[in-house]
């Protein structure tokens, strides 16, 4: 098996590293109930349920619209609640349901936008909220199933 990209979805210890979910690893081999993975200069086994292969596909728009029918609608369907030009994000409220979305501009050389449905557990200041989601990998956001 050629090494493939993987993503930890639960805490794991590999060698001397204590790793948190959303840590990228290399999957080296498949075993009956585990993956052999590599992180930096260490390798070890992680339960199959603790790693997913990457890239994690984006959830289909149909699935996201089950969470809120406003996913993927034009800007006219939303009101801006907070705009942060410094960090390139906007918090928006959909007019139809009143739910909040984070519209985050990401990238370095090439910029792209991710839209995440915010939930009742998403508290704190707008910047703290943005930092939390902006710090998550695209694969992790796709896995959570609330981002387009």
User: What is the mean predicted confidence (pLDDT) over 39-48?
Assistant: 97
Residues 107 and 49 in one domain: no
Q: What's the pLDDT tens digit per position in 54-99?
A: 999 999 999 999 999 999 999 999 999 999 999 999 999 999 999 9
Task: Check residue 47 and give its pLDDT.
Answer: 97
Residues 43 and 113 in one domain: no
User: What is the mean predicted confidence (pLDDT) over 114-139?
Assistant: 96
Q: What is the CATH number of the domain that holds 44?
A: 2.30.30
Task: Check residue 54 and give its pLDDT.
Answer: 97
Residues 65 and 127 in one domain: yes
Q: What percent of the chain has pLDDT over 70?
A: 100
Q: Taking 80 as the threshold, does the pLDDT of residue 23 lie above it?
A: yes
User: What is the mean predicted confidence (pLDDT) over 18-33?
Assistant: 97
CB 88 within 8 A of CB 105: yes
Q: What percent of the chain has pLDDT over 90?
A: 95
CB 124 within 8 A of CB 82: no
Tell me the pLDDT of the chain averaged across its residues.
96
CA distance linking residue 102 with residue 79, whole number of Å: 12
End-to-end, the C-alpha distance of the chain in Å comes to 32
Residues 100 and 121 in one domain: yes
Residues 68 and 106 in one domain: yes
Most distant CA atoms of the chain, gap in Å: 51
The pLDDT confidence band at residue 1, using thresholds 50, 70 and 90, is confident
Residues 99 and 119 in one domain: yes
For 22, the domain range is 4-53
Q: Which of 15, 31, 53 is the last residue of a domain?
A: 53
Domain total in the chain: 2
């Amino acid at each position: 098996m050629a090494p493939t990209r993987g993503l930890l979805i639960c805490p794991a210890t590999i060698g001397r590293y204590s790793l948190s979910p959303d840590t990228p690893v290399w999957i080296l081999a498949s075993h009956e109930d585990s993956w052999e993975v590599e992180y930096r200069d260490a390798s070890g086994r992680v339960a199959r349920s603790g790693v997913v292969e990457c890239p994690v596909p984006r959830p289909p728009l149909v699935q996201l619209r089950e969470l809120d029918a406003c996913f993927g609608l034009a800007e006219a369907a939303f009101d801006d609640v907070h705009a942060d030009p410094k960090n390139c994000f906007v918090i928006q409220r959909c007019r139809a349901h009143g739910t909040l979305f984070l519209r985050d501009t990401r990238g370095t050389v090439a910029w792209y936008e991710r839209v995440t449905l915010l939930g009742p557990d998403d508290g704190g200041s707008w910047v703290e909220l943005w930092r939390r989601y902006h710090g998550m990998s695209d694969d992790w956001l796709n896995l959570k199933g609330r981002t387009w």
